[in-house]
Amino acid sequence: MSTTALPAQIARVPGVAIALIALCIVFVLTSPGFATSPNIANVLTQSTILLLLALPMTLIIMTEGLDLSIGAVLTFASIILAITAVSTGSLALAFAAALAVGLCFGFLNGALIAVFDIPPFITTLGTLGIAQGLSLVVTDGQSVVGIPRSIETIYSGTAAGIPLPIILAALAYAVTHALLYHTRFGAYVFALGGNREALKVAGISVRGMLIRVYVFGGLMAGFAALLMTARLNSAHPTAGIGMEFDAIAAVAVGGTSFERGNGWLLGTLLGVITVGVLRNGLNLLAIPSSVQVACVGGLVIAALFIDGLRGEQ
């Protein structure tokens, strides 16, 4: 409507877009290295692992759930991937092992939540402890090194000039988008958040659907383990700790609601880039990673606050 007042039009622009643009302006002004093409490529490449976690996190939060274990599962999957690669020399086998770890934890989370009715945040807090404990037990706190060098090309390689991780992440986004918006599974995910009773009335197995959502999260953590291990060329028992927080932050900033089950996958993509830009910009300004963590925390609280205000309207 051309007659709509300007403030009302601005109010319709998603908060995440405003936040992203504001951050970019701040960093362009304060840091000369920010708006260079190598740095932008760097931000995007570094955001790919986070995107792989944030995509399933969006679906999980849409079902009024949460997955606090996804960072610890990523870590454990990365360790199993590295150990398998070192002992067999086969990257394919190693990747399969990482996916299997993700599948097991996803199924465990889903089963505890759907079948035993344990609230998601406490379920995944428990499995976070389990995955973290397993990572420490298996490695005795040491890094796993000696992975075949070929794994590096997965993270640093390019195809047609585009970095491989970006191609893989774009693929993951496309698949998740198709799943969420073009399949019955996706329609059920929307219903799980907003209208669970309707699903039951329609004879859909709510339990089965919930388990599938968490299994999807586990598998994506296994997929992300491939990129993370390739990036570090090693696996470390604390490497992925806290990644779940960045993922939750990206989803929250992207406008997916914790209480009403409204999800927006493109918002999550923008949220991931926002978190990535924030961390990259702070890095360029030589602000320590500890402060970056605090800033991401502040970003989440601000996003949830705005979400709360919109909910009241």
Supply the minimum distance, in Å, between the C-beta of residue 281 and another protein.
Answer: 16
Measured distance CA(40)–CA(128) in Å, rounded = 33
CA dihedral 43, 47, 48, 51 (to 10 degrees): -150
Supply the minimum distance, in Å, between the C-beta of residue 37 and another protein.
Answer: 30
Of 153 and 289, the one with the shorter C-beta distance to another protein is 289
Measured distance CA(83)–CA(145) in Å, rounded = 8
Of 40 and 302, the one with the shorter C-beta distance to another protein is 302
Supply the minimum distance, in Å, between the C-beta of residue 266 and another protein.
Answer: 22
Supply the minimum distance, in Å, between the C-beta of residue 87 and another protein.
Answer: 20
CA dihedral 170, 271, 214, 136 (to 10 degrees): 100
Of 185 and 245, the one with the shorter C-beta distance to another protein is 245
Of 111 and 166, the one with the shorter C-beta distance to another protein is 111
Supply the minimum distance, in Å, between the C-beta of residue 165 and another protein.
Answer: 25
Give the burial class of 295: count Cβ atoms within 10 A of its Cβ; 0-12 exposed, 13-18 middle, 19 or more buried.
middle
Contact 267, 16 (CB under 8 A): yes
Task: Write the single-letter amino acid at 102.
Answer: G
Measured distance CA(185)–CA(68) in Å, rounded = 23
Supply the minimum distance, in Å, between the C-beta of residue 226 and another protein.
Answer: 24
Give the burial class of 182: count Cβ atoms within 10 A of its Cβ; 0-12 exposed, 13-18 middle, 19 or more buried.
exposed
Of 71 and 102, the one with the shorter C-beta distance to another protein is 71
| Residues at the interface with another protein (CB under 8 A) | 66, 68, 112, 116-119, 121-123, 125-130, 132-134, 136-137, 140-141, 242, 245, 248, 252, 258-259, 288, 290-298, 300-301, 304-305, 308
CA 303 vs CA 58, 183, 298, 300: distances in Å: 15, 29, 9, 5
Residue with tokens 């360790």: 79
Of 34 and 246, the one with the shorter C-beta distance to another protein is 246
